[in-house]
Amino acid sequence: MTTNTSSIQAVIFDWAGTIVDFGSFAPTSIFVEAFKQGFDFDITMDEAREPMGLGKWDHIQAVGRIPAVDKRWNEKFGRSMSSDDIDAIYSAFMPLQKAKVADHAAPILNSIEVVESLKAKGIKIGSCSGYPRQVMDVLIPVAADYGYKPDYIVATDDLPQGGRPAPFMALKNVIELSVTNVGACVKVDDSTPGIEEGHNAGMWTVGLLLSGNEAGLTYDEYLAATPEVLEAAREKAHAKMIKSAPHYLIDTIADLPEVISDIERRISAGERP
């Protein structure tokens, strides 16, 4: 075991839009498809992205509560979406997601190198996801083939208490990684529920602007973007992410090492999240 040379004990990462799947397209596109398959009902990609970070059943429920979606649903079915409707869409979502998630398992930028540099300092790597366990069981080995091997993984349905924005998944990482101080942990995420999860767990929080759900750029779009396009995407994501008041906002995980150094400095100076 590597001796910890940092004042940080653990960094807990989200998955899609943070470590893998630039733009968080695996869940988003499948939500659109699941609504279509389950009820021949159309939602937009922006509507599918709106509640990202929640567990997937809760996400479907939240999409159904978007006023424009609820209006169209009432026009088509004469009522608002019910729990049975959500169950049916979730049932359509699951096999689609399991079939597609491996196609979106490529690491974002230099995420593997960043993670390995943290491990080299003795920092433990936790992770949690809005994906349920049966989807994670498909994603985990594919991500491992790319080189991503966190020390612990929690899926959104692993715990009876539920998922984000509650702190339970983050705190399960704390317990399993034998972390002694939540104030020595960092939560990194591309969604507001994931940042709120970190706050609720008493951790430092880092939000990602350009690689995740809120900017909604593909990797190719990101590479080809002009400074003006990137700034527009950054501002769009910032407007959403700032509502959860992360301690830091950065473009992608490539910018994380500087933030880690600053958090180490602040912890060493006696600061808490």
* Residues with catalytic function: 14, 56
Mutual angle of helices 168-176 and 192-200, in 10-degree steps = 60
Considering only CA atoms, which of 206, 197, 186, 199 is closest in space to residue 267? 186
Number of neighbouring beta carbons within 10 Å of residue 112: 18
β-pairing, 248-250 vs 10-13, is unpaired
Q: 121, exposed or middle or buried, with CB in 10 Å at 0-12, 13-18, 19+?
A: middle
Residue with tokens 């996400």: 59
Considering only CA atoms, which of 9, 2, 5 is closest in space to residue 183? 9
Strand partners, 127: 13
With a CB cutoff of 8 Å and minimum separation 6, the contacts of 220 are none
83, two tokens: 């729990």
For the chain, give the number of residues: 273
Strand partners, 16: 20
Alpha-carbon distance of 86 to 249, in angstroms, equals 33
184, two tokens: 């020595």
With a CB cutoff of 8 Å and minimum separation 6, the contacts of 241 are 192, 195, 207, 209, 214, 249
